[in-house]
Amino acid sequence: MSARIRRVGVVGGGRMGAGIAEVCARAGLDTVVCETDAFAARQARERIARSLERAVERGKTDRATAADALARIAFSGDLADLADRQLVVEAVVENAEAKTEIFGALDKIVEDPQAILATNTSSIPVMRLGMATRRADRVLGLHFFNPVPVLPLVEIVISLHTSAEAAAEVEEFAVTTLGKTAIRSQDRAGFVVNALLIPYVLAAVRMAESGFATATDVDAGMELGCAHPMGPLKLADLIGLDTVASIAESLYAEFKEPLYAPPPLLLRMVEAGLLGRKTGRGFHIYDRG
Handedness of CA 26, 32, 36, 42 (dihedral sign): positive
Is the pLDDT at 234 greater than 90, yes or no? yes
Which residue out of 35, 94, 155, 171 is catalytically annotated?
155
Asked if 163 is an active-site residue, the reply is: no
Tens-digit pLDDT profile for residues 54-97: 999 999 999 999 999 999 999 999 999 999 999 999 999 888 99
User: Tens digits of per-residue pLDDT, 25-56?
Assistant: 999 999 999 999 999 999 999 999 999 999 99
Query: What average pLDDT does this structure show over 172-198?
Result: 96
Q: Tell me the pLDDT tens digit for each residue of 145-154.
A: 989 999 999 9
- Whether 122 sits among the annotated catalytic residues: the reply is yes
Q: What domains lie within the chain, and their CATH numbers?
A: 2-186 (3.40.50.720), 193-279 (1.10.1040.10)
185, 194, 246, 250: which one is catalytic?
A: 194
pLDDT at 289: 55
Active site residue 284: no
209 as an active site residue: the answer is no
Alpha carbon 213 to its chain centroid, in Å, reads 30
Marked catalytic residue, from 120, 122, 123, 159:
122
- Out of 143, 159, 169, 185, pick the active-site residue: 143
pTM: 0.90
Q: Identify the bridge partners of residue 144 per DSSP, sorted by sequence position.
A: 154
Per-chain mean pLDDT for the chain? 95
Instruction: Supply the pLDDT for residue 1.
Output: 42
Q: In what order do the strands lie in the sheet with 73-76?
A: 73-76, 30-34, 7-11, 87-90, 116-119, 139-144, 153-158, 181-186
